């Protein structure tokens, strides 16, 4: 059965929406400033053996839906044959109506394989064969998939001790899409983790620096930031489930670090002791390190992303099976706005507030985060602090529309940095199309009810800025050619 909703005007309910999408939004190159796509896949221009390897294995959104339907883990992340895993996904898709997975699945099959037949059990075998045949062609290698999606830039997520050689290879290559590392600096703030002392020792070895003292740790962190910057990094990211920021000086943090690393006097041997600091002391050390990194980002002209409010510790069973990022997290409690303001204010007071993107996972935070975009500003800078795009459990139709409405009413849509995929799947670039259609439909609806003027030039400029230009400027990318 064909997919009737995937016509050219899909999700575009007014003439204004259709005109804005087709004439302006659709042709714009994609700037995906936060993803988890593999730099190695792109450096090696990986080819994929089958559709499961490309499309289901890396996609935790799909894993989550399959588990919710009671599918055995063997057919999700286990050792079942690929064809059987695909058959289970095909059986699941008709049950995802209302979830963005239904639309994303259809868009990905259409945009990358030209398949407009709905994925159902009846159609599964034919789609499996057709897609796998395409994957054997050069037109569907990892790089070709990004080229097909018109991706100008993609930022991967790379931890401080990750090997950046794949990024070095990409920088030397002739790949038309730019790929740069985005620093995921969570390890530096994980002061309560059992592994933290050993991690600092590894960092010291990597940077040829003694990290027994806080001064040594800070020197090593700067060295790693230099290595990231040398490969084009201009953006960082912190996943902070509970923000417990407390203003802390280096003099206050130094003895806390020494005690944490020393493990109550046992030496810097990697053994560590996760109880060597109480909760308040750990918060102070973590707060100092976050502030130190933020100041370093500001000096370098980097963007700081703060992903706030996830509850990652849910099912211990699934954590054992699927690992710490296995697709079983949920929305956590609202962010402590007082502590967030204290962090931003401390940085601003020190003239060290970098461009910052705030991502709330709990929708309760939407209005507060949107208003913060007008609380911390800098002369000559548009959108210094951003209420980031609808993230993770909010990147569906309602979540995107709510984010747009909230920002429009409490802040400025004009300066919004736009959408990002936050995905491990190369095919997820179709989510930019999904967002762009919803953005144009949102604007078209406002025009239809008389809230926005029928000014094509003004509305087109809004779409151009949100879909491409604001992110391009923030990341200091060259302007697209007139043919783009």
Are 10 and 441 in contact, with CB atoms under 8 Å apart?
Answer: no
- How far apart CA 402 and CA 366 sit, in angstroms, is 9
Residue 6's pLDDT is what? 86
pLDDT at residue 323, as a whole number: 87
End-to-end CA distance of the chain: 35
386 with 416: CB under 8 angstroms?
A: yes
The Cα–Cα gap between 219 and 475 comes to 26
Q: What's the pTM value of the predicted model, to 2 decimals?
A: 0.95
What tokens were used for 358? 């705030």
Alpha helices in 353-411 (DSSP H): 366-372, 397-410
CA–CA distance, 256 with 275 (Å, rounded to integer): 12
Give the chain's residues under pLDDT 70: 1-4, 263-275, 480-484
3-class DSSP state for residue 359?
Answer: strand
């Amino acid at each position: 059965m064909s997919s009737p909703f995937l016509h050219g005007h899909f999700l575009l309910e007014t003439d204004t929406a259709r005109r804005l999408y087709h004439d302006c939004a659709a042709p714009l190159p994609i700037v995906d400033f936060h993803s988890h796509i593999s730099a190695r896949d792109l450096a090696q221009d990986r080819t994929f053996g089958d559709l499961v390897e490309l499309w289901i294995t890396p996609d935790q959104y799909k894993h989550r839906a399959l588990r919710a339907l009671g599918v055995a883990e063997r057919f999700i992340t286990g050792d079942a044959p690929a064809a059987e895993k695909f058959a289970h996904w095909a059986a699941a898709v008709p049950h995802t109506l209302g979830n963005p997975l239904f639309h994303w699945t259809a868009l990905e099959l259409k945009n990358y394989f030209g398949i407009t037949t709905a994925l159902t059990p009846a159609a599964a075998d034919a789609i499996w064969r057709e897609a796998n045949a395409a994957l054997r062609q050069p037109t569907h290698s990892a790089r070709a998939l990004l080229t097909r999606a018109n991706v100008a830039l993609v930022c991967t997520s790379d931890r401080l001790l990750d090997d950046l050689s794949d990024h070095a290879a990409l920088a030397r290559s002739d790949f038309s899409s730019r790929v740069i590392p985005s620093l995921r600096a969570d390890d530096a703030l994980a002061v309560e983790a059992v592994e933290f002392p050993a991690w600092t020792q590894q960092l010291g070895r990597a940077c040829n620096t003694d990290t027994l003292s806080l001064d040594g740790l800070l020197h090593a962190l700067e060295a790693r930031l230099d290595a990231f910057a040398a490969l084009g990094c201009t953006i960082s990211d912190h996943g902070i489930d509970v923000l417990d920021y407390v203003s802390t000086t280096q003099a206050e943090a130094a003895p806390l670090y020494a005690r944490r690393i020393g493990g109550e006097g046992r030496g810097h041997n990697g053994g560590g002791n996760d109880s060597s600091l109480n909760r308040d002391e750990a918060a102070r050390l973590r707060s100092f390190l976050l502030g130190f990194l933020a100041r370093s980002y500001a000096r370098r002209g980097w963007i700081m992303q703060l992903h706030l409010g996830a509850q990652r510790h849910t099912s211990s069973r699934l954590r054992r099976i699927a690992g710490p990022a296995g697709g079983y997290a949920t929305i956590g409690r609202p962010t402590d706005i007082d502590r967030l303001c204290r962090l931003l204010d401390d940085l601003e007071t020190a003239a060290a507030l970098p461009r910052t993107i705030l991502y709330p996972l709990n929708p309760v935070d939407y209005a507060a985060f949107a208003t913060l975009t007008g609380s911390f500003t800098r002369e000559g800078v548009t959108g210094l602090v951003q209420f980031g795009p609808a993230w993770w459990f909010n990147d569906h139709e309602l979540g995107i529309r709510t984010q747009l409405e909230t920002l429009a009413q409490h802040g400025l849509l004009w300066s919004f940095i736009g959408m990002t995929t936050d995905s491990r799947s190369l095919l997820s670039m179709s989510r930019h199309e999904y967002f762009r259609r919803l953005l144009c439909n949102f604007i078209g609806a406002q025009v239809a009810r008389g809230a926005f003027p029928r000014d094509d030039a003004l509305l087109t400029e809004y779409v151009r800025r949100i879909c491409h230009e604001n992110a391009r400027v923030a990341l200091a990318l060259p302007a697209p050619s007139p043919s783009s």
